[in-house]
Structure 1
Amino acid sequence: MARSITASFAVLGLVALGLTACDAKENPYEVKKKASVDIHSYEKEMTPEELAEARKAAGHPSTDQIAEENAKMFEKGAREYVKTRLPEYRDIVTELRAYLDQIEKGAPKWKDDAAFEKFNTKYKADVDAFLDVYDELTAKGVEGGNTQADLGWAVRAWEALNNDLGPGVIDNAQLPVAIKEIRDRLDKVSAALDDIEKDETLEVNPLYKAPKKDKRKKKK
């Protein structure tokens, strides 16, 4: 019997040692905590060149490419805006050319203040009405993209010319120069309108309705 008890204690001892050994092993089901990253340790920032190279390596477009694509999308939308209102833009150009003709033909007749005022009274009212239509069409110069850039330049130059009109202006050597510069810029606008009209990639807004010409506001 003594041998059996001794043997039993020996077995229990071995089992205990086995359990201790198991406890010492790594638990395969234990979830380890990841070491936190100290963001303050990253003091060095990437230069614009390094950032661009990193974006390129990752297959992302560069900031210049993004800006270029955005500019193309903006200009396409602007051209569609113009194409939707193409007849009105052509009317604006035609009317502005007619005002230049009036100045060119009328200037030699403005011998004195009375002669000029006779012309200018109606002319100023027509100019105000024209600018109302122009502002409505172009959203005060906001819409139209590159086409508007040239048209806006021509309109501003014409307004500046109007401020210089008066008796004796025909003797100013800059008068024909100013008129020619405005006409040349209007030629660019007309060419742009022709190009927009032929561009089949541009969509016209089917919901747009042009205002009737006889309802244009006229200032008297």
Structure 2
Amino acid sequence: MLGMRRFAPSSSTSLYVYARETVGYALMIGGRVHCPASGPGTIAPLPVHSEMLGGTGQLESTVSDEAVLAAARRLRIIPGIASRTRTGGSATAITDLLRVARAGNQQAKELLAERARVLGGAVALLRDLLNPDEVVVGGQAFTEYPEAMEQVEAAFTAGSVLAPRDIRVTVFGNRVQEAGAGIVSLSGLYADPLGALRRSGALDARLQDTAPEALA
């Protein structure tokens, strides 16, 4: 599954949680991503609360990039952040916010730490519900500001009622979207290599080439 290093021999279930402009999750069971017949579930409406971030009381509307930028505009952390968001996209504005936080702006640091706290609590809720053997997080909400991973882990530990378990950050870092596209495009080949070769016609051609030799 996306973001994993190597599965321990005893690992049978793994939970992956993604957060950036949207939030999502995937559950791997026995080496395969669980895909319900009716379609994947969603964690966007998970109940959360943050006075600093605002939102509608749901996870995605509270921790998404746009939600964080809306809070930054409201708190006047970065002059001109509203116009930059409209013209250059939220990615540019988030970069500005991270830069200001790393320069020592206390409000910016507290805002990003609050996002991390909410995310950590949400991951704890999912972990307690699904109880996977491994927990991996990814997406720029986690990877672009690693300084806040301490808050993610603290909220995760405080929020989970099960035995302690570590959180692992995806090895793809900020390239998780590119990696995800590659994994999706190759998933059919990995799941059924012979079937994929048959569908492409490559296996039939190979069998035709080797048939005379096999009969000789």
Q: TM-score, normalised by structure 1?
A: 0.29
Structure with max Cα Rg: 1
- The answer to which structure has the higher strand fraction is 2
Q: TM-score, normalised by structure 2?
A: 0.29
- The answer to which structure has the higher helix fraction is 1
